[in-house]
Amino acid sequence: MVVTLFIPCFVDMMYPRVGISMVRILERLGHSVRCPESAACCGQPAFNSGYWDEARTVAEKTLQALADSEVVVIASGSCGAMIKKFYLDLFRGTPNERAAADLAGKCYEFSDFLVTRLGVTDLGAHFPAKVTFHDGCHGLRELRIKSQPRKLLEKVRGVQLVEMAEEVCCGFGGTFAAKFPMISTAMGEVKCSHALATGAEYIVSNDSSCLMHIQGLLDRQKSKLKTIHLAEVLATT
Amino acid sequence: MNTSARQFKEQATLLTQDLRHRQLIQTAIGKYEVVRDRVRSRYQDWNAARQAAAEIKWEAVNHLDEHLTRFATQLEARGAKVHWASTGAQAREIITNLLREKQARSIIKSKAMTSEEIHLNAALEQAGFEVVESDLGEFIVQLRKEPPYHIVFPAMHLTRHQISELFTRELGSAPTADPEELTLIARRVLRQKYVRADVGFTGANFAIAETGMISITENEGNARLTAALPQVMVTLLGIEKILPRLEDLALFLPMLATVGAGQGLTCYNSFYGGPRRPGEPDGPEEYHVVLLDNRRTELLADAEQRDSLHCIRCGGCLNVCPIYRNVGGHSYGTTYSGPVGSVITPHLRGLLEWKHLSYASSLCGACTDICPVKIDLHHHLLQNRRNASASKPSRLERLAFKVFAYVINRPGCYALVKKVGRMAQRLHPLVKGSRLDPAYAWTKTRDLPPIAKQTFKEYWSSRK
Ligand code: SF4
């Protein structure tokens, strides 16, 4: 099938390898991938800050760019929640209401797409390391994605998955991280301590935004613990 | 920034760095979570129970007028006096006048967050009455002259040693770290107060419309004594406490106990429906019920957020909230803290003064998942943000989002900005983490990844 891959702005700029890994995996599975140039950002920063008009300006463009797709794969749980759930609120009562609902119906977060839509769990990946998995809150609680990434990780050769003691937010929260850096940092420290306690070498997640926050803290603390996106793990051979 | 926001930020800055506080709360809540989950797992279908509870509350709140009238009529038929207070000031006045009329001197109170909400103790003390809190946690924070730290566990932030020191200082007791002994010390003091009190003051957990009764659920038995011993009993409750039928309690009491304290059911569950009747051996001779609005009707008028009146004040959302756990209950500066406080305080006390609480959230949604009555808490925070930005936008922020939208919507422009950014970031190490750093809010504690040598979009067009 023709898969439209939506690469959100921060993945484009800072984590291109995540996007590239997704392209490789999808192509390896025999699908053809398209990435519309004009789809750049889901509009979440403005939306979460309460500026819905400005958010709509950005979201409209993305909505149009993705509208005629057969199926859309979103490279982040958080942007996935924005497009799949919050576009319905954002466009309610506007001429784009229908289009938003149509789009919501054919959107998948990456791991959800592989497991739920394609029914694939074994990608032949090989990643010999002890890892723990961080659920991005938007993916977890807005999209209810929890088992999918674990099913995928289970099939990776060499991976040993150790769960953290608690399922808790990493403290990123978009503009929250800059508006309340002290709270965000404290939350991140708690998260890192849970991850460290597992003895894992890597924190794997399906959301680069959380990983940006966690890795940023770990780097500052000169920790040996590393973060990696699920797609990068799955793209290994 | 307004005063409340500034105070919140100052307190949050202190508390988030207080590792002793972090550990204390983490441990206390960790223990609670274990028992909560154990009790919750005894439900055949917890989510079905939540759904049923939400529907009952929906009915109660959407027909509030009918249920309240029914509740009041039944109570009055049994000889109670029902008072209606639109504002906190009115409620304080009603209660103060009543106490004067009864020539009361001493009041014993059981736990009532509504009385905190209207700052009743301060008003009564100012009017010359002696007010004593009888709930152990409330008794402790009253001695410390501070508000409750948590709506269910008022003294959660204190260690046994701190409580012992407090008792030694304020009550002259011998130091001890034994919880049993600490409880006995408080009990000895309180027993005297019950006997001497002229008026017993309580809150309510539920108000049953069908039977015209209030339901109080507790673990210490202090509310029973408060209600039974003094001649006059006064109950203050918010109008949203209504449940339509007595049988609804079969669901609500266990759910409140489960999420509130990790118990199947709390130890003491009592109902009050009027003064002592002829032939009855005990109970107050007069019973007054004060129903408080205090802008709850504003929430009622807001179809989007009306469900926040479902709240049964179980404290579950505070316990799971990573923000609450890190900043602590006092930083909020509100009666109701944690997620539910951040949602309702802007409605109860003004959006522009309290909007910062809705921004102080990562929107993780843990609160919404735990809430036994399914209040859409974290989405309400988003709506508060939207309403705040619409009524008083920050010019700078709006401009930033406009510029962002302009750039991101034009692929050529966006590509150029990334190129410029890539060059500019070479200078970043010069200022990184310092006050001159434009990304200081981030880089003070965290590293920031660079813009990649080849962005995804550049990669993609190179492939074509
Ligand atoms: S909002 Fe829900 S979880 Fe929070 S205190 Fe109220 S009932 Fe409990």
Full pLDDT tens readout for chain A, 237 residues = 999 999 999 999 999 999 999 999 999 999 999 999 999 999 999 999 999 999 999 999 999 999 999 999 999 999 999 999 999 999 999 999 999 999 999 999 999 999 999 999 999 999 999 999 999 999 999 999 999 999 999 999 999 999 999 999 999 999 999 999 999 999 999 999 999 999 999 999 999 999 999 999 999 999 999 999 999 999 998
Rounded Cα distance between B121 and A132, Å, is 50
Asked whether the beta carbons of A220 and B446 are under 8 A apart, the reply is yes
Degrees, nearest 5: CA angle B161-B165-B170? 145
Rounded Cα distance between A165 and B24, Å, is 17
Rounded Cα distance between B395 and B168, Å, is 54
pLDDT at B425 (0 to 100) = 83
pLDDT at B281 (0 to 100) = 86
Q: How far is the CA of A201 from the centre of ligand 1 (A)?
A: 38
User: E strands along B144-255, which residues?
Assistant: 199-202, 206-208, 213-218, 232-238, 242-243
Q: Residue B12 burial by CB count (10 A; 0-12/13-18/19+): exposed, middle or buried? A: buried
Atom of ligand 1 nearest to the CA of B314: 8
Contacts of A190 in chain B (CB under 8 A): 22, 26, 322, 325-326
pLDDT at B422 (0 to 100) = 87
Q: How far is the CA of B351 from the centre of ligand 1 (A)?
A: 20
| A46/chain B closest Cα distance in angstroms | 6
Neighbours of A106 (CB within 10 A): 16
Note whether ipTM > 0.90 here.
yes
Q: State pLDDT tens for residues A69-120.
A: 999 999 999 999 999 999 999 999 999 999 999 999 999 999 999 999 999 9
Q: Candidates B371, B374, B377, B379: which one to mutate for ligand 1, based on the most atoms within 8 Å of Cβ?
A: B371
- Residues in B 71-130 with any Cβ partner in A closer than 8 A: none
Contacts of A54 in chain B (CB under 8 A): 398, 401-402, 404-405
Neighbours of B101 (CB within 10 A): 9
Atom of ligand 1 nearest to the CA of B310: 7
The pair phi, psi for residue B103, each rounded to 5°, is: 50, 40
B393, B395, B406, B439 from B399: Cα distances, Å: 10, 6, 10, 17
Q: How far is the CA of B271 from the centre of ligand 1 (A)?
A: 22
- At A157 the three-state DSSP class reads strand
Asked whether the beta carbons of B356 and A130 are under 8 A apart, the reply is no
Q: Does domain B43-294 have CATH number 3.30.300.90?
A: no
The pair phi, psi for residue A166, each rounded to 5°, is: -140, 150
pLDDT at B428 (0 to 100) = 82
Among chain B residues, the shortest Cα distance to A191 is held by B322
Q: How far is the CA of B313 from the centre of ligand 1 (A)?
A: 5
- At A8 the three-state DSSP class reads coil
Within 6 Å (CB) of ligand 1, which residues are found? B 311-317, 340, 370-373, 375, 377
3-state helix vs strand vs coil in chain B, percent to 5: 60, 10, 30
Distance of CA B237 to the CA centre of its chain: 15
Flag whether residue B22 sits within 8 Å of chain A, measured between CB atoms: yes
- At B424 the three-state DSSP class reads helix
Query: Nearest CB to B364: which of A46, A61, A169?
Result: A169
User: E strands along chain A, which residues?
Assistant: 2-6, 32-34, 71-74, 107-109, 126-134, 157-161, 202-205, 226-229
Q: Does domain A121-234 have CATH number 3.40.50?
A: yes
Asked whether the beta carbons of B224 and B108 are under 8 A apart, the reply is no
pLDDT at A237 (0 to 100) = 86
pLDDT at B316 (0 to 100) = 98
Both tokens assigned to B414: 């966006």
B447 vs A45: CB contact, 8 Å cut-off? Answer: no
Query: Nearest CB to A183: which of B16, B365, B456?
Result: B16
Q: Residue B365 burial by CB count (10 A; 0-12/13-18/19+): exposed, middle or buried? A: buried
Report how many Cβ contacts below 8 Å link chain A to chain B.
188
- Residues in B 367-396 with any Cβ partner in A closer than 8 A: 368-369, 382, 385-390, 393
Distance of CA B114 to the CA centre of its chain: 11
pLDDT at B463 (0 to 100) = 87
Q: How far is the CA of B256 from the centre of ligand 1 (A)?
A: 9
pLDDT at A146 (0 to 100) = 97
- Residues in A 169-198 with any Cβ partner in B closer than 8 A: 169, 171-188, 190
A208, B85, B179, B440, B451 from B460: Cα distances, Å: 19, 66, 66, 32, 16
Of B382, B206, B388, B393, the closest CA to residue B305 belongs to B382
pLDDT at B120 (0 to 100) = 98
For chain B, what is the total number of helices (H) and then of strands (E)? 25, 10
Query: Nearest CB to B361: which of A41, A176, A213?
Result: A176
Q: How far is the CA of B318 from the centre of ligand 1 (A)?
A: 8
Neighbours of A109 (CB within 10 A): 29
Spell out the per-residue pLDDT of chain B, length 464, in tens: 789 999 999 999 999 999 999 999 999 999 999 999 999 999 999 999 999 999 999 999 999 999 999 999 999 999 999 999 999 999 999 999 999 999 999 999 999 999 999 999 999 999 999 999 999 999 999 999 999 999 999 999 999 999 999 999 999 999 999 999 999 999 999 999 999 999 999 999 999 999 999 999 999 999 999 999 999 999 999 999 999 999 999 999 999 999 999 999 999 999 999 999 999 888 899 999 999 999 999 999 999 999 999 999 999 999 999 999 999 999 999 999 999 999 999 999 999 999 999 999 999 999 999 999 999 999 999 999 999 999 998 988 999 999 999 989 998 888 888 888 888 888 888 887 788 788 888 989 999 999 999 999 999 999 87
Contacts of A12 in chain B (CB under 8 A): 455-457
User: E strands along A121-169, which residues?
Assistant: 126-134, 157-161
Strand partners, A107: A72
- Residues in A 113-152 with any Cβ partner in B closer than 8 A: 137-138, 140-142
Rounded Cα distance between A121 and A30, Å, is 15
Contacts of B457 in chain A (CB under 8 A): 7, 12, 35, 37, 40
The pair phi, psi for residue B248, each rounded to 5°, is: -60, -25
Of A102, A106, A50, A54, the closest CA to residue A80 belongs to A106
pLDDT at B31 (0 to 100) = 95
Atom of ligand 1 nearest to the CA of B312: 7
CATH 3.40.50 in chain A: give the residue spans: 121-234
pLDDT at B32 (0 to 100) = 96
Q: Residue A54 burial by CB count (10 A; 0-12/13-18/19+): exposed, middle or buried? A: buried
B362 vs A220: CB contact, 8 Å cut-off? Answer: no
Flag whether residue B323 sits within 8 Å of chain A, measured between CB atoms: yes
Domain ranges in chain B are: 43-294, 395-463
Among chain A residues, the shortest Cα distance to B323 is held by A183
Which protein residue has the closest C-alpha to ligand 1 atom 2?
Answer: B371
A44, B77, B399, B400, B424 from B404: Cα distances, Å: 12, 65, 8, 6, 18
B401 vs A55: CB contact, 8 Å cut-off? Answer: yes
Q: Candidates B375, B378, B380, B381: which one to mutate for ligand 1, based on the most atoms within 8 Å of Cβ?
A: B375
Rounded Cα distance between B140 and B220, Å, is 14
- Residues in B 409-448 with any Cβ partner in A closer than 8 A: 409, 411, 414, 418, 421, 441-442, 444-448
Residues with Cβ within 8 Å of A135's Cβ and at least 6 positions away in sequence, in order, are A145, A146, A149, A167, A205, A206
The pair phi, psi for residue B154, each rounded to 5°, is: -60, -30
Flag whether residue A58 sits within 8 Å of chain B, measured between CB atoms: yes
The pair phi, psi for residue A53, each rounded to 5°, is: -65, -45
A187 vs B327: CB contact, 8 Å cut-off? Answer: no
Among chain A residues, the shortest Cα distance to B365 is held by A141
